[in-house]
Amino acid sequence: MSTATPKPRAKWAAVGHSVPKLDAYTKVTGAAVYVDDIPAAGMLHGRTVRSTIARGRICSVTLDPAFDWSAVTVVDWRDIPGENVVALIESDQPLLAHDDVRHQDEAIVLLAHEDPEYLLEAMKHVRIEYEPLEPVLTIEDSLARKDVLYGSDNVFKTIHIERGNTAAGLASADVVVEATYRFGHQEHLYIENNGMIAVRTRDGGLHVRGSLQCPHYVHKALCRAFALPGDKVRVAQTVTGGGFGGKEEYPSMIAGHAALLAWKSGRPVRLMYDRLEDIAATTKRHPGVIHIRAGVQRDGTLVALESDIVLDGGAYATLSAVVLSRGAIHAGGPYRWPHARIHARVVATNTPPNGAFRGFGAPQTQFALECHIDRLAAELGMDPVDLRRRNALIIGDITPTGQTLHESVSAHEVLERTLEASRFHARRKEFTKANAKAEAAERAGRSSPGGRRLRRGIGCALVYHGAGFTGSGEVRLASKAAMELTEDGWPRILAGTTEIGQGTITVFAQVAAEALGLAPARVQVAEPDTARVPDSGPTVASRTLMIVGALVGECARDMRAALEGLTGKPVANEAAFRRAAKRWLQERGPLRVEAKYRKPEFIQWNEDTYQGDAYGVFSYAALVTEVEVDLDTAETRVLDVTTAQDIGKAIHPVLAAGQIEGGVLQGLGWALLEEVRWKDGRVWNAQLTNYIIPTSADAPPIHTILVENPTSLGPFGAKGVGEMPMDVPAPAVVAAIAHATGVRMTEIPVTPERLRSALRADGNTRTGR
Amino acid sequence: MSGPVTLKLRVNGRAMTLSAPPMKRLLDVLREEAHLTGAKEGCGEGECGACSVLLDGIPVNSCLVPFGQCEGARITTVEGLASGRRLSALQQAFVEMGGSQCGICTPGMLIAATALLDRKPGRVPSEDEVRTALAGNLCRCTGYQRIVDAVRAAAKPRPSGSKPGRGR
Ligand code: FES
Ligand code: FES
């Protein structure tokens, strides 16, 4: 295993060095306190009674009179002091279902009791009677308006992006290729299940702690549901065991439930999901269907792209419109398309709402696009790498939204570096030869040792990913970060941005330390607690470092300037900082500086036409993977992965590479293993025994190359890193399988069942040849 | 559940007398009675390994072990791996090499890896051996690469006092 990391520039003392992750000590000793580790003494346990049908009306909710309810707190929608909504973009999702049920496992009644065993028993004695309605469970049925669940046509949101004249472009192209791609749900499967603790405070407010990504989202939702002013609601994050988007919006629901039980009982309440409940009820990655028609000239110049995208949003709007937006904007991939028409819709079904998941629509659309690029290459008889080289974006190119790329464009560099490190072309030749030899031997009746018919393949993919909120999103967020001096004269960062394992605390401390002349470990990072930290916007969209990190850097520079203004001497090392800080505290009292996001001048975005600068800058990644396919079992094993990713500047190379490797493996899981199976709108494999994620034995060695092509927009040139690694593996795997077997899959995950039927259709089975 | 039983155990080198119903999961007894919350529950059905502890030196999923079977058992949880403030070589390698991200799998990983390294002290296991030994411990954050690297680095014999696993 190797990680090629750029040498730290000598001029930076903190940035670019892989200092020990600041929260690692407590994590390796077991001292870190996750929500479930908070002592339960004095608390009630909470549980959620959920719908058992996908769609219908609730006729009655009855508590079995034979059961002793005297010590059980029971909450339904009538107990909600404010509005019965989980406030997000739209206000369509209730905190507790009232008369309508729109999906399986929708929350209807909440129970709390001191004894978790008694509580489980109590759940069985809540009787809910329904008048069931025929559910709409698939995208096809939703589009066909089998029944209307939302608006007049079941479409939550439509996005249309148009550049040039696509019809004319397709007509003029030498070759036009058309295909339909499909992808399923994906469960986040953070290893820490969701959990919240809620307390009704003495002053009539709420204090909620738990596993979450976005404390200010939860805060906003609680204020609405409880009709409380902002200062009466306090939300804090506990150490969080993974999020990946899965703890972006759904925790608002769980916090609301825990808070309702605490409100009614007057006791602190802990509401911990078990794995079954977490998989069955919470959000997933949006599944969908993408139909692409693309035209190319004989010489490999891409001419026109027509992409029709439909995502399944599930029963409520949640963040679907934004996921769709990011997906649509990335639908052309990192290529020049003189003509492009991208039409994207997200529709309602009676399945649990889908939501934020690492990549946020971009993995879906770039999976389809990259598969299609390979298809175009095959049709042209061209090396798929050459087709990419010919069309990959360079500075000055224009994206489908009309954005001219001004800086930090690395599509070519990441591609070439990945190809070189993986020895792509040499390996491709070797595999082609070995596969032909194996096939010839099998035909001649000489089977390989063990009788297995194995084939190897290698595939490549190229993607890009915009960092930060789309278009004017960052302007609307108007994020803030602050920094203060502690009483002992150390700097403390105040930001609403959360550590969810990705390293926020450490990289923020590094960015601040650099400006203050301190060691990163000297910089404190306050626990995200809405009572203490400003709203830095959500911890999503690969925006933490590039947007909020930049604000942290600005605060540090301001603090340094303030201190230097006081002493008249440079603050360049720890001793100088300490002297100045102590003097400030003595002479002037507390010191707090704040920075607020300001839009760079050049970013222009038109929300109505979907034209303009969708993102300030993009990150770029290429990935090559080698696979081995067993033609008889149709199992695919990933043997090796090499990926070069341009993230502008690796503030912390080890953490950056760790983000990439983790995202890559999630992408491989999505491509090959992870499939949510449904029965009547309900997840039937809501367990780790049957929803399979990659283990260390499934995971290939991952060789990461960090490319640093800095942007003027992020701190020290850093761009986003969190999501892009998820975009790139799936199409590379599909390409590698195609190389190994000759079968080009259009649907992921490529499970053995799916591949077997494709191989059979191709005649590529033992009996078939 | 039947009434509680009282058992004597050695947990992280300390003698403990704990009372709980015999069918109560060892995981819950450790977390609730012994107040050792290092072992985590990720699935409760033996699939994720977040609850791994050493039981008489063997890594087990403590969510599957009934307390009643633990009379006289020697148990090591993640809290027992360091000596005071001094981290074990494995813990130190996890800290330095990025073996822990969100950290929820880390206690179980460390336990499984400790068991692996204890089996053949002084020998560096191959990458494949490490991957096989850790296959019962799920991690959703790291992609496992840095965990595997850290385990191998920690296995390398080194002069006392030096730090593990910087070079590659
Ligand atoms: S909680 Fe024991 S194996 Fe998952
Ligand atoms: S570090 Fe998060 S699950 Fe392993």
* SS3 state at A10: coil
- Mean pLDDT for A126-144 is 98
pLDDT digits (tens, 9 = 90+) for A106-124: 999 999 999 999 999 999 9
- In chain B, whose CA is at the least distance from the CA of A655? B98
Distance of CA A619 from the midpoint of ligand 2 (Å): 24
Cβ A54 vs Cβ A350: under 8 Å: yes
- Is the pLDDT at A232 greater than 50? The verdict is yes
* Element holding A466 (H helix, E strand): strand A454-466
Average pLDDT over residues A280-290: 98
Contact between A24 and B103 using a beta-carbon 8 Å cutoff: yes
Contact A27 B50 (CB under 8 A): no
Contact assignment for B145 to A699 by CB distance below 8 Å: yes
Q: How far is the CA of A691 from the centre of ligand 1 (A)?
A: 15
Percent of chain A scoring above 90 in pLDDT: 93
The values of phi and psi at residue A554, to 5°, are -65, -45
Instruction: With CB atoms and an 8 Å threshold, state whether B141 touches A662.
Output: yes
Averaged confidence pLDDT in chain A: 95
The 3-state secondary structure of A70-122, one letter per residue: CCCEEECHHHCCCCCCCCCCCCCCCCCCCCEECCCCCEEEEEEECCHHHHHHH
Q: What is the pLDDT of residue A312?
A: 98
Cβ of B42 below 6 Å from ligand 1: yes
Decide if pLDDT at A7 tops 80: no
User: What is the distance in angstroms between the Cα of B41 and the nearest Cα belonging to chain A?
Assistant: 8
* Inter-chain residue contact A189 with B81, CB threshold 8 Å: no
Band of pLDDT at residue A764, cut at 50, 70 and 90? low
- Average pLDDT estimate for A145-165: 97
Chain B residues within 8 A of A30 when measuring between CB atoms: 36-39, 77-79, 107
Q: How close is the Cα of B46 to the center of ligand 1, in Å?
A: 4
Instruction: Supply the pLDDT for residue A717.
Output: 95
Q: Look up the CATH number of domain A3-32+490-596.
A: 3.30.365.10
Residues of chain A with CATH 3.30.365.10: 3-32+490-596, 36-134+189-281, 139-187+284-367, 409-467+615-761
pLDDT tier, B168 (very low <50, low <70, confident <90, very high otherwise): very low
pLDDT of B137 over the 60 cut: yes
**pLDDT for the residue A3:** 54
CA-nearest of A286, A289, A275 to A685 is A275
- Cross-chain Cβ contact A662/B143 below 8 Å: yes
Mutate to test the interface with A, among B45, B86, B140 (most CBs of A within 10 A): B140
Chain B residues whose beta carbon lies within 8 Å of the beta carbon of residue A211:
none
For residue B2, pLDDT over 80 is answered with no
CATH number of A36-134+189-281, picked from 3.40.50.720, 3.40.50.2000, 3.30.365.10, 1.20.1530.20: 3.30.365.10
Mutate: best of B37, B81, B102, partner A, most A CBs <10 A: B102
Angle between helix A362-380 and helix A320-329 axes, rounded to 10 deg: 30
How far B47 CA sits from the closest chain A CA (Å)? 6
For ligand 2, is residue B102 a contact (CB within 6 Å)? Answer: yes
Kindly report, residue by residue over A45-90, the tens digit of the pLDDT.
Answer: 999 999 999 999 999 999 999 999 999 999 999 999 999 999 898 9
CA A479 to chain CA centroid, nearest Å:
20
Q: Does residue B111 have its Cβ closer than 6 Å to ligand 1? A: no
Domain A409-467+615-761, CATH = 3.30.365.10
Question: Is the pLDDT reported for residue A504 higher than 50?
Answer: yes
- CATH topology for the A139-187+284-367 domain: Aldehyde Oxidoreductase; domain 4 (3.30.365)
Domain boundaries, chain B: 5-80, 89-155
Q: Is A658 on the interface with B (CB under 8 A)?
A: yes
What percent of chain A is modeled with pLDDT above 70? 98
Architecture of domain B89-155: Orthogonal Bundle (1.10)
CA angle, B54 then B56 then B60, to 5° = 40
The residue-averaged pLDDT of A300-307 equals: 98
- pLDDT reading at A10 higher than 60: no
Instruction: Tell me how far apart the terminal alpha carbons of chain B are, to the nearest angstrom.
Output: 53
- The first and second tokens of residue A700, run together, are 């290939």
Ligand 2 pocket, B95 CB below 6 A?
Answer: no
Q: What is the ipTM of this complex?
A: 0.96
For residue B141 and ligand 2, the question of a CB distance below 6 A is answered with yes
Q: What average pLDDT does range A371-398 have in this prediction?
A: 98
Greatest alpha-carbon pair distance for chain A in Å reads 91
Average pLDDT score over residue span A2-8 = 51
Residues 6+ apart with CB under 8 A from A399: A329, A332, A393, A405, A614
Give me the pLDDT at residue B161, please.
46
A258: three-class secondary structure by DSSP: helix
Q: Which ligand is nearest to the CA of A696?
A: 2
Pairwise CA distance, residues B40 & B63, whole Å = 9
Per-residue pLDDT, averaged over A492-515, amounts to 94
Rg over alpha carbons for chain B, rounded to the nearest Å, is: 16
Q: Which CATH superfamily is domain B5-80 in?
A: Beta-grasp domain (3.10.20.30)
Report d(CA A288, CA A623) in Å as an integer.
Answer: 23
CA–CA dist A316, B21 (Å, integer): 44
Quick: pLDDT tens for A738-750. 999 999 999 999 9
**CA–CA dist A230, B27 (Å, integer):** 39
pLDDT grade, residue B43 (50/70/90)?
A: very high
SS3 label, residue A525:
strand
Nearest to A687 among B45, B77, B134 (CB): B45
Q: What is the pLDDT of residue B165?
A: 38
Q: Is the pLDDT reported for residue A765 higher than 90? A: no
Is B98 within 8 Å of chain A by CB?
A: yes
Task: Grade residue A762 by pLDDT with cuts at 50, 70 and 90.
Answer: confident
